[in-house]
């Protein structure tokens, strides 16, 4: 979207507040019109505020609303309202209904959120007997109901060992993909630009969360990777029973440096970006997972890079011209 | 002109009186051309015909503006849905037609981005102070007005506004475009 100043943003928020009043009079609306007309950036700023406001609604039909769990609070037991049009299946996670001038009220199903710290790996035993190992600096949400076992890997990486329950499919949401367990053990990496699923045991289906079409079927030893804006790729990998990160190492083979930077960003809890000279670089090697700073140091040494640490994160550039 | 008969005359009169002002509103909100604004006015007229007159509208002008504003929100939602639908089709089909190069489809990216945005919005919401979150959720998810929210929480309406301002500032900063 087009840029706007902080002032414009604050004014836009002020107008948003006024517009929320059902008793706003005609003069108020006229004032809003005049403010919008005063400068293009006012409109842009208001677009941004409204985009956030509307952004909390699922972008497409109610069928895809199951993708995201919206409430991380463990609510006091509250009645579940049903949306008139949506299938019951779509209600397992919190869903927003949109209707006319207001919003339908739906109480969320209880959702549990797990968040690991930068140096913490946590094993979570779920109520159905499944086990999740959550990697460092990762966030996982769990919403089980009588009919569904739904989990969302908001960011980071997790290893899933799924207990068999034919009546309740175990579904992992990551980004806009849905990973359905048809078998038992798999690893999911979820980042803003990249989704990766590696299967150790059994079978997994990966597909778009909105459609019914499962897309890809993966068996043990298959790895699915999709980068944002590109189509997914399936490759064979060594079917290790335990992924490398659980042994405290990251193993890279001809990995684009941007992938390594994204992983390091998670452990450092600060963005790691690539600067001049790093275009097209790849990395093969092993990084022991320790504190992010040491990992960066090691990468600097391996690849003759220099890490510039600033308030907005770390920038890696090539040394030696 | 059978539609005209179904709109109560005070409301209809108010509509025609304010038509230029409403057109100006649409143009201001969207930077719309006169032709696009006319299109929106048509939709507004139809909406009026559908909703009829709720008993005892005190301020016809405000009512019409509110309807117009809801129309602008509907338009924005519809265009987001169209993007997402488009993208869903492409993503669910690319396993069958692997020759397709999805990298050139900006729509698919944008729609995937909007789902990512939802996740980021919820995560950002989680970082707000508890009372601010409470206010935001009550207004957004429970559909309570500022006055109702203030009532429920036993705080003033201006306190509710301050919380909403804090929340929106953070959300726009962290997740806004």
Each residue's pLDDT tens digit, A45-83 = 999 999 899 888 754 432 222 222 222 222 223 333 333
Q: Which of A36, A70, A101 sits opposite B29 (nearest CB)?
A: A36
Q: Residue A14 has which token pair?
A: 């002020």
Q: Which of B76, B95, B117 has the CB atom closest to A50's CB atom? A: B76
Interface of B with A in 121-150 (CB under 8 A): 121-123, 126, 137, 139-143, 145-146
Is the pLDDT reported for residue B78 higher than 80? no
Considering only the beta carbons, identify the residue of A36, A52, A209 that sits closest to B176.
A52
Is the pLDDT score of A118 beyond 90?
Answer: no
Which of these, A190, A134, A16, lies nearest to B171 by C-alpha position? A16
Q: Find the range with the poorest average confidence among A39-43, A83-87, A206-210, B15-19.
A: A83-87
Which of A38-42, A177-181, B111-115 is predicted least confidently? B111-115
H-type helices in chain A, by residue range?
Answer: 6-19, 26-38, 40-55, 257-268, 292-303
Q: With CB atoms and an 8 Å threshold, state whether A228 touches B109.
A: yes
B37 vs chain A: nearest CA distance in angstroms? 14
- Residues of chain A in contact with residue B118, where contact means CB-CB under 8 angstroms, are 55-56, 58-59, 68
Nearest to residue B61, comparing CAs of B27, B7, B26, B13?
B13
Tokens read off for A289: 């997972």
- Mean pLDDT of the region A263-290: 83
Residues B88, A60: C-beta atoms closer than 8 Å: yes
Beta-carbon contacts of residue B23 (< 8 Å; ≥ 6 apart) = B34, B37, B38, B41
Mean pLDDT over the full length of chain A: 75
């Amino acid at each position: 979207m087009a840029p706007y100043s902080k002032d414009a943003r604050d004014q836009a928020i002020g107008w948003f507040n006024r517009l929320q009043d059902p008793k706003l009079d005609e003069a108020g609306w006229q004032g809003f019109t005049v403010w919008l007309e005063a400068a293009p950036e006012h409109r842009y700023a208001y677009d941004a505020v409204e985009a956030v406001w509307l952004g909390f609604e699922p972008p497409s039909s109610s069928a895809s609303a199951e993708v995201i769990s919206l409430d991380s609070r463990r609510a006091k037991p509250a009645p579940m309202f049903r949306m008139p049009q949506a299938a019951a299946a779509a209600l397992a996670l919190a869903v927003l209904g949109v209707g006319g001038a207001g919003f339908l009220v739906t109480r969320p199903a209880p959702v549990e959120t797990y968040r690991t710290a930068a140096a913490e790996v946590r094993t979570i035993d779920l109520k159905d007997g499944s086990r999740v190992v959550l990697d460092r600096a990762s966030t996982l949400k769990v919403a089980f109901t009588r009919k569904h076992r739904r989990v969302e890997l908001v960011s980071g990486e997790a290893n899933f060992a799924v207990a068999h329950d034919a009546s309740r499919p175990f579904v992992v949401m990551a980004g806009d993909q849905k990973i359905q367990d048809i078998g038992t053990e798999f690893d999911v990496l979820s980042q803003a630009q990249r989704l990766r699923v590696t299967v150790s045991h059994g079978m997994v289906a990966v597909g778009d969360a909105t459609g019914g079409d499962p897309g890809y079927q993966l068996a043990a030893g298959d790895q699915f990777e999709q980068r944002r804006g590109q189509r997914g790729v399936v490759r064979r990998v060594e079917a290790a029973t335990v992924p490398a990160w659980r042994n405290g190492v990251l193993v890279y083979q001809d990995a684009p440096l941007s992938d390594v930077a994204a992983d390091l960003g998670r452990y450092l809890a600060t963005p790691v970006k690539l600067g001049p000279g790093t275009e097209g670089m790849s990395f093969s090697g092993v990084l022991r997972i320790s504190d992010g700073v040491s990992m960066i140091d090691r990468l600097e040494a391996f690849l003759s890079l220099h890490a510039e640490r600033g308030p907005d994160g770390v920038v890696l550039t090539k040394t030696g011209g | 002109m059978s539609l005209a008969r179904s709109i109560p005359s005070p409301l209809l009169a108010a509509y025609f009186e304010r038509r230029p002002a409403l057109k100006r509103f649409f143009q201001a909100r969207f930077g719309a051309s006169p032709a696009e604004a006319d299109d929106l006015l048509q939709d507004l007229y139809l909406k009026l015909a559908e909703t009829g007159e709720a008993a005892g509208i005190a301020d016809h002008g405000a009512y019409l503006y509110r309807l117009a504003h809801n129309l602008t929100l509907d338009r924005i939602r519809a265009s987001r849905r169209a993007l997402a639908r488009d993208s869903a089709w492409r993503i669910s089909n690319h396993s069958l037609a692997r020759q397709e190069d999805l990298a050139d489809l900006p729509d698919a990216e944008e729609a995937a981005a909007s789902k990512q945005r939802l996740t980021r919005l919820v995560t950002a919401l989680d970082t707000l102070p508890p009372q601010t979150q409470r206010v935001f959720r009550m207004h957004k998810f429970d559909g309570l007005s500022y006055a109702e929210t203030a009532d429920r929480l036993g705080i003033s309406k201006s306190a509710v506004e301050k919380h909403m301002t804090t929340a929106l500032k953070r959300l726009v900063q962290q997740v806004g475009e």
